[in-house]
Amino acid sequence: MSDDETVVVSARRMLTADVCEFELRRADGALFEPAGPGSHITVHTPSGEARSYSLTSDVSDRSRRVIAVRRDENGRGGSRSMVDEVHDGDELVISAARNAFELVEAPSYLLVAAGIGITPIRAMLVELLRRGVADVRLVYLSRSRDETPYLEEIEEIAELTGAGADSMTLHHRTIHGAFDWWPLLEAPGERHLYVCGPEPLQNELRALTMHWRPSRVHMEDFAGVSAFGEISLPFEVDWQPTGARIPVTSDQTMLAALEGAGIDVDSSCGSGTCGTCRLSLVEGEADHRDVVLTESERAHFVMPCVSRAVSDRLVVAPITVVPQ
């Protein structure tokens, strides 16, 4: 990717038994470009897989990028190689920061994190406290205290700011059971909701916020998304360089259809999170299901690993071809 840069691991620490934090600094000693809370970077891991990780530190500090990686024993190897093989002083290649989970200005915020989902939410919390926003509520879910990244820091923030149970809630499911969301969601007012966590949590909160304005509900899931989690109708994809017209069945990804037709598209995660397979969207309306592209980019690009078509036909091309 043209915006890749080499960084050095300046520090690493285990936050829990399976979550490792990495502090990254540019190899040339320069500052990073500005990034907002909710931003993520794509890391080329030692396994060869590209993976996206949210920035979790104070993003106003441009001297470093900080990410936290949960080691997934059942994954494709990217997270395992990061936690097991990357050490202080090692070099990595990362992308520039991108933001598809932007923190918008609002008078009131409800931040919800589950497990490793704390990473972008932590950056948002730090930024909102830095701005002096008074009405910020955090609900942080985990299985137990031992499985809660940044537990001590969140508790320290609550103590230093005087925030009690009304502002910051640490909820451990093995101790407290299910969380009662309705008192927080019944009357939305001017509040914006930010959620980073697994799909069941997102689905539950979407159902409970049907009476909210959609523009005030923001969700992100870096565990990956599915090309088949919603209605998946067949369509055709045209490969502009050759004019080939390729059918995409309802149980097939656009990426698989292109590859099956002998078209080589670079790819890595297969879950709409790394951005490796990005193609130019030349014609047609895409059903975007990724967590990489910003709203402005979605008119010009598509992620074929998970996204599909709203129209009957899409025309795509390598990103070296500029859409007209």
Report the CATH fold assignment for 5-94: Elongation Factor Tu (Ef-tu); domain 3 (2.40.30)
Structure confidence by residue, pLDDT tens digits, 232-245: 789 999 999 999 99
Contact, 92 vs 43, CB < 8 A? yes
CA angle 121, 125, 126 (to 5 degrees): 120
Dist. CA 308–CA 134, nearest whole Å: 41
**pTM as predicted:** 0.79
Residue 5 CB partners (closer than 8 Å, separation 6+): 26, 27, 93, 94, 95, 96
Mean pLDDT to the nearest integer, 3-19: 95
Please give the pLDDT value at position 311.
84
Contact, 99 vs 39, CB < 8 A? yes
Structure confidence by residue, pLDDT tens digits, 200-217: 898 899 999 999 999 999
Please give the pLDDT value at position 228.
59
Give the residue extent of every domain in the chain: 5-94, 108-220, 235-317
State yes or no: pLDDT of 320 exceeds 80.
no
Q: Classify domain 235-317 by CATH number.
A: 3.10.20.30
Backbone φ, ψ for residue 182 (5° rounding) = -60, -40
Report the CATH fold assignment for 108-220: Rossmann fold (3.40.50)
Distances (CA, A) of 180 to 49, 169, 185, 228, 261: 38, 12, 10, 30, 50
Place of tokens 């990217």: 78
Contact, 14 vs 68, CB < 8 A? no
Dist. CA 184–CA 193, nearest whole Å: 10
